């Protein structure tokens, strides 16, 4: 099988999904209204609620939801063969992720920008809302702590990525001022910004930066984690127009250029896929493909974290309701394209099957390193990039994806802390909410494990919790659609599939954690399982009760 076939089939299918299926959803299911007054206008404050150009907002949304997971998940899942990962990424993007991300954005905008957790209280009930917030908080904790560790590891292993990683922040601050303070159009800041970012990548490949083995008694990885959380804390407090929006926008452009380079290199070099279509020679102790495939590849097929971003930050920046299709559905397509690139790099970026098998010696092998190594090989052969420039480009891509997700993730975790405090009758300002979020993440990163490795200890639960949250989000969207007497089957089918697979995976992992004596993961698994079953049951009961009942009914005129 030639990799060009995978690339063309995948990209054409996702493009048709956006052009045809998302248009049907927008017109017949969500029924977007260009005249609807969005929360960005209704509550405009210049900090969180800011009416935003849909292209800039798409950049924020896409880079926030992408992270490292659409690289890591497919890069691990190809151990079962390229076909299962390819089918799940392609079909999942079109029929699962698109309607989920689009739907979470629509539901939040139609309900004054409420997060999906708080919205649960309106459409199902207070008990379901509280349980949902528990699941959301745990997922954000995993995302923020684990991604900080992933980024720090890449900064240590690929010192050529340090300059472009931190230099991108300065570029974003300048672009934010040009866009919002000086009202400069998108074109020239976008072009110059991308050129500067790639110049920084070249500069980084010339001048790698390595921290001392010990700095104030801390390892380089620990120092990077502290610096990352310090930056994320500051970024989460700044107005979205100043750093979050322009950083995500310009990173989105740079990352799409990187994806374009990778796909062009595939066309030029036409590497064969050396990995088996279905791997029958699995390494020992590799788990079964069902249900693990569907939770290993979360981001890139469907991800509950996307619903948190859509309803947490993106919904507060939608200028017109009709922008939701581009931001939400096409944002999912962008992530699918990244996951597809990861599959190609990790199956066609090796010279022979023996070379591929030398990397995939156990379940969990591969990951970002396989993506970077395989992609570097394709870029070098297809475009003739010198030295390790290809590896620097791909490592920087992975870091920037993860860093922008961490930026948004900490801001979302602050929202959850503040929402939970409000439910308890306590009013927290942004600074206190951020400090609490930072303290919990740092406690996990440094309080469990050694040298800041704690964020990865709970990683096995990340994919499962992520998919479970996606299923629960779809259940909220289903209840809303039923209340509005609209077609619901295209939401209910993905909902049922995800809940079955993620609950199945949680039960399987319970046995694994118990056998390994991992009581932290076992306890978290039980909490998540109980909360999910409870919320799912209440959602089913709300669906059964039909339209016009329970909580605050969502009406056609809501928010006007």
Gyration radius of the chain's alpha carbons: 22
325 and 249 Cβ atoms separated by less than 8 Å: no
Angle (CA) 502 460 331, round 5°: 65
Per residue of the chain (560 residues), give pLDDT as tens: 899 999 999 999 999 999 999 999 999 999 999 999 999 999 998 888 999 999 989 988 888 887 778 888 899 999 999 999 999 999 999 999 999 999 999 999 999 999 888 888 888 888 888 888 888 888 888 888 888 888 888 899 889 999 999 999 999 999 999 988 898 988 899 999 999 999 999 999 899 999 998 888 889 999 999 999 999 999 888 888 898 888 888 888 888 888 899 999 999 999 999 999 999 989 988 888 999 899 999 888 999 999 999 998 899 999 999 999 999 999 999 999 999 999 999 999 999 999 999 999 988 888 788 898 899 899 999 998 876 788 888 888 888 878 888 888 898 898 889 888 888 889 888 889 999 999 988 887 776 555 555 555 666 688 888 898 999 899 999 999 999 999 999 999 999 999 999 999 999 989 888 988 888 788 888 998 898 888 888 888 888 887 764 444 454 444 43
Which residues, at least 6 apart from 305, have a Cβ–Cβ distance to it below 8 Å?
Answer: 65, 67, 69, 139, 143, 299, 405, 409, 466, 469
What is 3-545's CATH number, 1.20.1740.10, 3.40.50.720, 3.10.129.10, 3.40.50.80?
1.20.1740.10
pTM, rounded to two decimals: 0.87
The structure tokens listed for 58 are: 């798409």
Helix (H, G, I), strand (E, B) or coil at 272: strand
Among 248, 161, 241, 255, which Cα is nearest to 200's?
Answer: 161
Give the integer Cα–Cα distance in Å for 180 and 130: 37
SS3 419: helix
SS3 annotation, 63-94: HHHHCCHHHHHHHHHHHHCHHHHHHHHHHHHH
Task: For helices 244-269 and 54-66, give the axis angle rounded to 10 degrees.
Answer: 70
Residues 390, 391, 396, 402: is their CA dihedral positive or negative? positive
283 torsion bin: left (phi>0), alpha (psi -120 to 50), beta (else)? beta
Q: What is the pLDDT of residue 559?
A: 40
User: Could you give the 3-state DSSP secondary structure of residue 52?
Assistant: strand
Instruction: Round to whole Å and give the CA distance between 400 and 371.
Output: 15
Q: How far is CA 148 from CA 65, 153, 222, 328, in A?
A: 15, 9, 10, 26
| DSSP H or E run through 421 | helix 389-423
Coarse DSSP helix, strand, coil percentages of the chain, rounded to the nearest 5 percent: 75, 0, 25
Contact criterion met (CB below 8 Å) for 97 and 336: yes
Domain locations in the chain as residue ranges: 3-545
So what's the pLDDT on residue 560? 37
Cβ-contact 402, 383 below 8 angstroms: no
Tokens of 328: 């939400």
End-to-end CA, the chain: 53
Query: Within 428-518, where are the H helices?
Result: 430-447, 454-457, 459-483, 489-516
CA dist 221 and 448 (Å) reads 15
Q: 3-state SS string over 218-255?
A: ECHHHHHHHHHHHHHHHHHHCCCCCCHHHHHHHHHHHH
- Digit-coded pLDDT (tens) for 37-79: 999 999 998 888 999 999 989 988 888 887 778 888 899 999 9
Rounded CA-CA distance 501/293 in Å is 9
Residue 318: strand, helix, or coil: strand
**Adjacent-strand bridge partners of 2:** 272
Tokens representing residue 121 in the block: 């209280």
Q: How many other C-beta atoms can be found within 10 angstroms of the C-beta atom of residue 226?
A: 17
How much is the pLDDT for 368?
80
């Amino acid at each position: 099988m030639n990799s060009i076939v995978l690339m063309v089939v995948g990209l054409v299918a996702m493009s048709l999904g956006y052009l045809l299926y998302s248009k049907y959803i927008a017109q017949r299911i969500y029924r977007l209204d260009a005249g609807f007054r969005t929360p960005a206008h209704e509550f405009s404050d210049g900090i969180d609620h800011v009416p935003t150009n849909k292209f800039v907002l798409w950049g924020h949304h896409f880079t926030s939801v992408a992270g490292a997971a659409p690289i890591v998940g497919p890069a691990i899942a190809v151990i079962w063969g390229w076909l299962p990962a390819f089918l799940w990424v392609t079909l999942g993007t079109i029929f699962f992720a698109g309607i989920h991300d689009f739907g979470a954005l629509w539901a939040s905008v139609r309900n004054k920008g409420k997060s999906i957790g708080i919205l649960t209280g309106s459409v199902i009930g207070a008990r379901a809302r509280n349980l949902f917030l528990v699941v959301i908080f745990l997922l954000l904790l995993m995302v923020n702590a684990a991604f900080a560790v992933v980024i720090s590891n890449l900064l240590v292993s690929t010192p050529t990525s340090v300059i472009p990683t931190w230099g991108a922040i300065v570029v974003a601050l300048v672009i934010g001022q040009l866009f919002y303070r000086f009202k400069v159009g998108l074109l020239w800041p976008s072009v110059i910004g991308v050129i500067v970012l790639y110049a920084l990548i070249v500069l980084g490949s010339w001048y790698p930066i390595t921290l001392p083995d010990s700095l104030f008694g801390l390892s380089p990885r620990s120092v990077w984690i502290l610096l990352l959380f310090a930056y994320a804390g500051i970024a989460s407090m700044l107005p979205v127009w100043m750093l979050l929006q322009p950083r995500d926008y310009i990173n989105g452009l740079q990352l799409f250029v990187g994806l374009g380079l990778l796909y062009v290199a595939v066309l030029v070099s036409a590497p064969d896929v050396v990995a088996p279509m279905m791997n029958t020679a699995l390494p020992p102790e590799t788990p079964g493909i069902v249900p693990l495939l569907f939770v290993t590849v979360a981001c890139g097929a469907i991800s509950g974290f996307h619903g948190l971003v859509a309803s947490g930050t993106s919904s507060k920046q939608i200028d017109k309701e009709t922008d939701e299709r581009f931001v939400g559905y096409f944002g999912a397509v962008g992530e699918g394209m990244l996951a597809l690139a990861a599959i190609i790099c990790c199956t066609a970026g090796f010279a022979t099957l023996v070379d591929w098998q030398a990397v995939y010696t156990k379940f969990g092998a591969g990951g970002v390193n396989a993506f970077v190594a395989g992609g570097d090989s394709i870029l070098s052969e297809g475009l003739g990039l010198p030295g390790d420039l290809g590896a620097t480009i791909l490592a920087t891509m992975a870091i920037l994806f993860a860093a922008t997700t961490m930026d948004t993730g900490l801001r979302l975790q602050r929202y959850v802390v503040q929402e939970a405090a409000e439910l308890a009758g306590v009013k927290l300002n942004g600074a206190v909410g951020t400090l609490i979020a930072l303290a919990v993440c740092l406690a996990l990163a440094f309080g469990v494990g050694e040298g800041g490795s704690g964020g990865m200890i709970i990683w096995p639960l990340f994919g499962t919790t992520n998919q479970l949250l996606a299923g629960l989000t779809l259940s909220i969207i289903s209840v809303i659609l039923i209340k509005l007497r609209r077609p619901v089957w295209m939401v209910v089918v993905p909902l049922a599939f995800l809940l079955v697979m993620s609950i199945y995976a949680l039960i399987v992992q319970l046995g694994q954690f118990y056998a390994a004596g991992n009581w932290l993961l076992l306890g978290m698994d039980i909490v998540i399982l109980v909360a999910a079953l409870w919320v799912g049951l209440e959602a089913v009961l709300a669906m059964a009760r039909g339209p016009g009942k329970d909580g605050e009914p969502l009406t056609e005129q809501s928010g006007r």
